[in-house]
A and B are shown apart, each in its own frame.
Chain A
């Protein structure tokens, strides 16, 4: 509901009750809401992760021998999301008329999430390229051993996804994000339980696909509906 105060006589004295009513109405008029355009960011990353994980799942099933592990290179396409992401963010910034403390803190939560993922992926890459061939007697051509350590990334990432989604959902009071976060946490526990399963790699990709849909794609579409009907 839009609260409009009409000020006909601006400098007149007004009662204490009117003062308090005005304060209450104005404070509640700037409540925390997800901003228009945020749904596009969820949809971008949701679809990107969902499509890539599904493709890797299919390649792991169909490619012969160790060559199937090369399918993980498809994750490099995640980088394509970055420029689109910044474009969407700058569009939101331009349209956004108000910035709440929640917006500021949630911005930091997602920055912390991204930095955590980048730190782990960078560490894994450097380990695979520099440390593994130099300091161990593992034959670098043995692709499975080169890639096995990457299997730690998926549950770790899903745990962080769960954290960021749950906090965002609670902060903005948007339940689908909270549910997405819980799905990611359950998936994390499931993947750690299944760690020694012979089909772990395939299981990971399909779980990742489910989490991307539950945590990003579905909330993204629901948010878009909300944006279109509200704003």
Chain B
């Protein structure tokens, strides 16, 4: 039934990550973890998957003495997200929800 939906985005955590990043310039790993409630390990794995697909750009830097991971959506990621939402709209007809 969900054949047209990008399997990479049709996962709760990955979709949550993309939904957060679609509306902002960039976000810290900690921010995404707080908003999604996911564990650091799981989030890290899903971020890597999205980065490998070219949907995200991940930058590692230092905040004082501590390492900092910043995530930013790429133009390719924006396209994928928009296609996903379009495909979703195709499935949803009035009265179906």
A residues bordering B, Cβ < 8 Å?
Answer: 2-7, 10-14, 16-20, 22-23, 25-27, 29-30, 94, 96-101, 103-104
User: Which residues on the B side are within 8 Å of A2 (C-beta)?
Assistant: 34
On whether the beta carbons of B42 and A7 are closer than 8 Å, the reply is yes
Contact assessment for A30 and B37 in the assembled complex, using a CB-CB cutoff below 8 Å? no
Residue positions of B touching A, CB distance < 8 A = 2, 10-13, 15-16, 19-20, 22-28, 30-31, 34-38, 42, 46, 63-64, 85, 88, 91-92, 96-97
Contacts A/B (CB < 8 Å), 30 sampled:
A4-B36, A5-B12, A5-B16, A7-B13, A10-B11, A10-B12, A10-B13, A14-B10, A16-B88, A16-B92, A18-B12, A19-B10, A22-B16, A22-B19, A23-B15, A25-B19, A26-B19, A27-B19, A29-B20, A30-B35, A97-B27, A97-B30, A97-B34, A99-B25, A99-B27, A100-B24, A100-B25, A101-B23, A101-B25, A103-B25
**Total of A-B residue pairs, C-beta within 8 Å:** 92
* Residue of B whose beta carbon sits closest to that of A20: B88
Instruction: Say whether A104 contacts B25, CB under 8 Å.
Output: yes
A176 nearest CB across to chain B (Å): 25
Q: For the A-B complex with A19-B10, A27-B19, A99-B26 known, give 13 more contacts whose Cβ atoms are closer than 8 Å.
A: A2-B34, A14-B10, A19-B15, A20-B92, A23-B19, A26-B15, A26-B19, A94-B64, A97-B28, A98-B31, A100-B24, A101-B24, A101-B25
A67: min CB distance to chain B, Å: 49
Contacts of B30 in A (CB 8 A): 97
* A22 lies within 8 A of B15 (CB): yes
Contacts of B34 in A (CB 8 A): 2, 97
List of A residues within 8 angstroms of B42 by Cβ: 7, 10
Across-interface contacts of A12 in B (CB, < 8 A): 12
User: What A residues does B88 contact at CB under 8 A?
Assistant: 16, 19-20
CA distance A30 to B96 in the complex (A): 29
Indicate the member of B11, B15, B19, B85 with the most A CB atoms within 10 Å. B19
Closest CB in chain A relative to B20 CB, distance in Å: 5
User: Which residues of chain A have C-beta atoms less than 8 A from B85's C-beta?
Assistant: 23
State whether A16 touches B91 (Cβ < 8 A): yes
How far does the alpha carbon of A23 sit from the alpha carbon of B34 in the complex, in Å? 16
